[in-house]
Structure 1
């Protein structure tokens, strides 16, 4: 499984990478939404994890850019990973095109369960 994690905080990326390593998944890191969007062009991912609050382009805008793509990558599963606790957050994320949301600090079981949920329609056997 190939995962893209768009997150500006190096420690958060490291924690999630360590969790995904346990499951044998490969993770590509992007420290900004702009870099992440470029990586989507150049790579094949099974799922995208995206933080909401980043310098430059925020996560909601990045999700909208992904969903506006003219190719099949527009339908990649997207999971928001955030520390934000705004009341309307879930609705805003889903309206932008996110498939699921998990909260920081990220717990391994929450991460794996979210990935299972968004990939549930796939016929491939899951690594997680």
Structure 2
């Protein structure tokens, strides 16, 4: 009976240049600036925010800041209409989020710190 080397012989070989290119491509994909939202999408976000201000509802936000996506879960404590920002109180901090940078807002049903 012949002794086989197992799966080692089937491992793909990649050039270091290819590995670097794949890594660069992954980095570009995660840092893609969001596309402009349609008017109805903006209205949905605005309605969700307006309905939950002052109710103590917990929301999950995703927004674009400092060339990357940021996420946080918390409660809206105030809306500043002059600077077009909202204050999101999380379990650790209070964050200022610009309306124009918000991508997703979702109501969280069961949230535990």
Q: TM-score, normalised by structure 1?
A: 0.22
Larger radius of gyration: 2
Q: TM-score, normalised by structure 2?
A: 0.24
More strand by share: 2
More helix by share: 1
